[in-house]
Amino acid sequence: MKEIKSALVVAAALVLVAVIVSLTYFNRAKADDMLSVTGMGSIDFSSDIVTWQAFFQSEARELAPAYARLKENRVALEDFLKEKRIGSPDYVFQPVTIEKQYQDIFNSEGKQVGQSFTGYLLTQTIRVQSRDLDAVAVAAREVTDLIQKGYTVQSESPQYFFSALADLKLKLIATASQDARNRALQIARNVGGSLGKVRWSSMGVIQIVGENSPVDDSWQGSYDTGSRKKTATVTIKAQYELR
């Protein structure tokens, strides 16, 4: 009787081992029947909106002459923009900021003992937003000519944007997805198989850089605004069944 029980236990163990081996082989074979690929999409495009900022200042002991000088700067800048084909609908003046100016007072030993009021510094910023990229580029480049006429103007670099960015991103994702599928199809044909269903896919972050500029692969994405012409790229990782 003992021999029969022992035989049964051994047989059951052998069956269990066989099942485990079969399942392991099945799962391994199932994993081996998967094909992972990475597709990439890239689109070149040109900006259609430009923004640009400049600011001007005036300084005087009293507020009234400081405001008068600031107004002269503003009028000169508006005339300049008109010459460059930039109309009033495309720009706006920000509120004037007023800063009191002081000069440190030192005693004979070089120790600061106080401050004396020297006047007011007034600053005003103008912000331009336009679809005439050429006109704004010229204005940003030549606005310093006003300095030669005695006006205090400082200019920032133009920033370029694209109004249909949402549609472009959808097209970019579609391009990368199709590229991933094309790569998977080619690999499947090369190994004598066929492509099955998509098991999973994931999208990388969209990178937008200046045209012909290297992609920095920032984990949070990049969006270059200093370049008029840009390139958008994205990668799509996908896993397919391989039959």
Task: For residue range 22-74, list pLDDT tens digits in order.
Answer: 443 334 344 458 899 999 999 999 999 999 999 999 999 999 999 999 999 99
What percent of the chain is helix, strand and coil (3-state, nearest 5)?
Answer: 40, 40, 20
Instruction: Work out the end-to-end distance of the chain between its first and last CA atoms, rounded to an integer number of angstroms.
Output: 51
Report the chain's mean pLDDT, rounded to a whole number: 86
State residue 152's pLDDT score.
86
Structural domains in the chain? 35-46+164-242 (3.30.110.170), 49-105+113-161 (3.30.70.2970)
Among 66, 84, 227, 234, residue whose Cα is nearest residue 161: 227
State residue 21's pLDDT score.
37
Task: For residue range 189-233, list pLDDT tens digits in order.
Answer: 998 888 889 999 999 999 999 998 877 666 678 899 999 999 999
Query: 107 versus 125: which is more confidently predicted?
Result: 125
State residue 216's pLDDT score.
66
Query: 116 versus 14: which is more confidently predicted?
Result: 116
- Mean pLDDT (whole number) for 169-186: 96
Distance between CA 126 and CA 82 in Å, rounded?
14
Whats the size of the chain, residue-wise? 243
Give the contacts of 47 (CB within 8 A, at least 6 positions apart): 133, 160, 161, 162, 227, 228, 229, 230
Q: Does position 122 have pLDDT exceeding 60, yes or no?
A: yes
Tokens of 221: 């994405």
Helix (H, G, I), strand (E, B) or coil at 57: strand
Q: Does position 3 have pLDDT exceeding 60, yes or no?
A: no
Among 106, 103, 104, 105, residue whose Cα is nearest residue 119: 103
State residue 243's pLDDT score.
87
- Mean pLDDT (whole number) for 145-150: 88
State residue 22's pLDDT score.
41
- Taking a C-beta distance cutoff of 8 angstroms, is the pair 133, 229 a contact? no
pLDDT range class, residue 88, cuts 50, 70, 90: confident
Q: Does position 11 have pLDDT exceeding 80, yes or no?
A: no
For tokens 């109309």, what's the residue?
87
Tokens of 167: 């549609």
- Mean pLDDT (whole number) for 108-135: 93
State residue 52's pLDDT score.
97
